[in-house]
Amino acid sequence: MRISSAERKQHLIKATVALMRAKGVQSLNLRAIATEAGASLATVYYCFDSKEDLLSNAVEYWLRRMVEIPDTAKTNKGPLGLVKTVLRIAEEYWTNLVNDPQDVLGQIELVLWAVRQSSSDALAKRIYERYMATLGDIFTNAVAVSGETSTWDPQELARAFISLVDGASLQFIADPTATGHRERFFRALLLILADSVDSDRKGREGELGEEG
């Protein structure tokens, strides 16, 4: 069956992302990408102007996937509120870190690669801007649907959350067999959240102590 040019591009982009996750951005070359995609080197050059063009498209594809965080502010029982929404996203993040550390490592390497490339410094900034905007919107919605009053600006809370996630990720990846990674991460998160919501604070702190 004949494959369209658009489909070929998608195959090559997905192959590039797969190699990024497995071996890191620095190890990529067009021949390896073509082999991963089951395509010829000529096909790669036909679909993309250069390696940088292919990488840029692959980065954008992965970036869209990285920020596809589900809106967890509501359940079938009603709104979760800010604290439980943050904790649910944190649980999803931690599960992914433990089950697929290569994916998280690939994301970190992607940011570092973008920072090192003078032509891609805007891309590194865009990665974090997308993360913060996505999380900030979810946190804003969590406050709105629950009727809470947050002492944190949701965008600033998103920035603090991402800072904590970055540090916890690096520590876990550097020494995954060490004890206490999860406990330290959630303890630090609970400290961030301790004064985040005015309504019924004491009761919520009790819930957080149980969940952490």
Q: How confident is the model at residue 108 (pLDDT cuts 50, 70, 90)?
A: confident
Angle formed at CA 62 by CA 60 and CA 65, multiple of 5 degrees:
110
Distance CA(140)–CA(81), nearest Å, equals 10
Q: What is the pLDDT of residue 76?
A: 47
Prediction pTM value: 0.73
The encoded tokens of residue 201 equal: 């604070």
Q: Indicate whether 53 pLDDT > 70.
A: yes
152-200 tens-digit pLDDT: 888 899 999 999 999 999 999 999 999 999 999 999 999 988 867 654 4
d(Cα 12, Cα 42) in Å, to the nearest integer? Answer: 12
Query: Tell me, what amino acid is at 93?
Result: Y
CA distance 150 to 146: 11
Span 54-78, pLDDT tens digits: 887 887 787 677 666 655 555 445 5
d(CA 157, CA 159): 5
Give the whole-number percent of the chain exceeding pLDDT 70: 82
Q: Residue 202: which pLDDT band, with cuts at 50, 70 and 90? A: very low
CA distance 85 to 148: 13
Q: How far apart are CA 175 and CA 181, in angstroms?
A: 9
Amino acid at 103: D
Whole-angstrom distance, CA of residue 57 vs CA of residue 3: 19
Closest CA to 91 of 190, 22, 178: 190
